[in-house]
A = this chain, B = another copy of it.
Amino acid sequence: MSQIEFQLINDYFRHDSLAFARDGIELGIGDDAAVISVPEKKSLCMSMDVLVEGIHFPANADPFLIGQRCLAVNISDLAAMAAEPLCFTLGIALPRADRDWLEKFRDGLALVARRYNCPLVGGDTVAGSGTIAIQVQGLTRRGRSVTRAGARPGDVIYVTGTLGNGALALAAQEIEVQFDSAFAPRIELLSETDLAYLNTRFYSPEPRVEFALNACHLLHSAIDVSDGLAGDLAHILEASECGAIIEADLLPYAPALRRAASPAECLAAALYGGDDYELCVTVAEESAPELETIAAGLSLQLTRIGEINSSHKLLLRQDTGKLEPVRHRSYSHFQA
């Protein structure tokens, strides 16, 4: 497959479903660079993720689902900054120019792009082994972005949705999950509905953009749960120079996970599993009621799971009341 054909594929991504017009896009795909304008009172956020076939998604996965997932997990990083998605760029190295694969992949990207009004504005397609780099751009309040560094002692810690689904979804796909704690869920106990739910959570995560935009004036800090709550919360604690206690019996699990896994396994999946793409945020105690009202208004599950303190330690209160340190696993992806 020559580079010339890949150049044609580059043009192929220049499709109305994906590279659509949007306010703020002065010049989209097709020149030496894209050009965007940033409103006066806004700043621009940008985040890049690289996903490798066989590591971040199974090599034989449906290309439509890969497209959905690749863009959604990037937009989740924007949600963690309370940024409104603006546009994205796509760099892709492919072993062959398989038009059927590319069309499905493009359609998966396009579905998420439309949902979040985040068109493709540029990129590069080359011959190589399956590697996908996506950079998302988003708009945030100028000089007032929500970062990992703003948590303060006394803040309440919340998470959206439920945790541990990423780990269970991988196990259900018979992909080995790499984290030290024992995790051998009984997949045979899951219903078809459970399996469909897990597949949706894994391949079509819902970046919590709307919640973050509505709540941004309350948030002291935020991160998305991509690597497991333990590692991601540890990033907040490190950046904010504080500590936290989280309550084991408050962590929210989906019914599917409760059915297939022991309580200890549920906890391990939430702390170390990752791939959940929920938000973990901290707010002042007095902001808690308003935050809960915002989530309720969006029909979004929001759970108070613990509190920030000045200890520089991340501790877990077990159901028994016993406090124990949580290992900081900052990254624990899986391998096929």
Contact = CB atoms under 8 A, between A and B. Distances in A.
Interface string A253-289: 0000000000000000000000000000000000000
Contacts of A162: none
A204 interface: no
B148 A48 contact: no
A332 B27 contact: no
A24 to B, nearest CB: 10
Contacts of A140: 35
A184 interface: no
Interface of A: 2-4, 6-7, 26-27, 30-38, 40, 43-52, 55-56, 77-78, 80-81, 83, 89-93, 121-129, 131, 133, 135-138, 140, 142-143, 145, 147-149, 178, 222-224, 239, 329-333
22 contacts: A4-B329, A7-B330, A26-B143, A34-B45, A34-B46, A35-B44, A36-B44, A37-B143, A40-B40, A46-B121, A46-B137, A48-B89, A48-B124, A48-B135, A50-B133, A52-B126, A55-B127, A55-B128, A91-B91, A93-B131, A129-B129, A129-B131
A224 B33 CA distance: 11
Contact of A128 (B7, B83, B122, B129): B129
